[in-house]
Amino acid sequence: MKKRKMRIILLTAILAILLAACENSSEASSTAADEPSQDNSTSEGTNNTDSTERAANDDSAETGNHETNEQTDATEEDNGSADNTAASMKETYLKKLNETKSEMENLEATDPSTYAMKKVENDRYDTWDELLNEIYGVLKKQLPAEEMDQLRNEQRDWIEHRDDAAKDASLKYEGGTQEQLEYVAVLADLTKKRCYTLVEEYMQ
């Protein structure tokens, strides 16, 4: 009986050891099976990251292209507006000249004295001379350097001619109260004509 009990205990112990060994091997196999899936998920995560970065790079490239296109469009629009501005500058100044002409024609002396009439002519001359300088400034920006040099020389000659013409006209009243009045009136008239000439013949 004792031998039989010993065998049963021994068999039970052997079975317990075998069961324990089987459980360990199954855990090891399941662990081994789990590890590749973890590696795959890691590699997939890397791939996802790469694709995200590529997408971001693509987006930034597309954004850059859009920005470049927008900048190009804006530049073209700016060039177009500059062309329109240059094209309409002549028209703008012709309109300004006509308005100034109307205003100057409506100027009246406060009384019939020579002093009051001289003031009107001086105001006319100052207004046209200021406008002439403004037009000349626009032409300096518009004209090529060579053409501007030519106009500068021409302008000097014109100023000399204008002053001589005004002096000659005033000599009709030499020594009289009308002499200075005529001088300034001719200056104003010739300056007005010069404004129209510069705008019509030179301004773009």
Determine the pLDDT at residue 70: 46
Which residues of the chain are modeled with pLDDT < 70?
Answer: 1-11, 13, 15-87
The pTM assigned to this predicted structure is 0.58
Determine the pLDDT at residue 42: 37
Per-residue burial over 179-193, b = 16 or more CB atoms within 10 Å of its CB, e = otherwise? bebbbbbbbbbbbbe
At 94, list the tokens: 């012709």
Determine the pLDDT at residue 18: 66
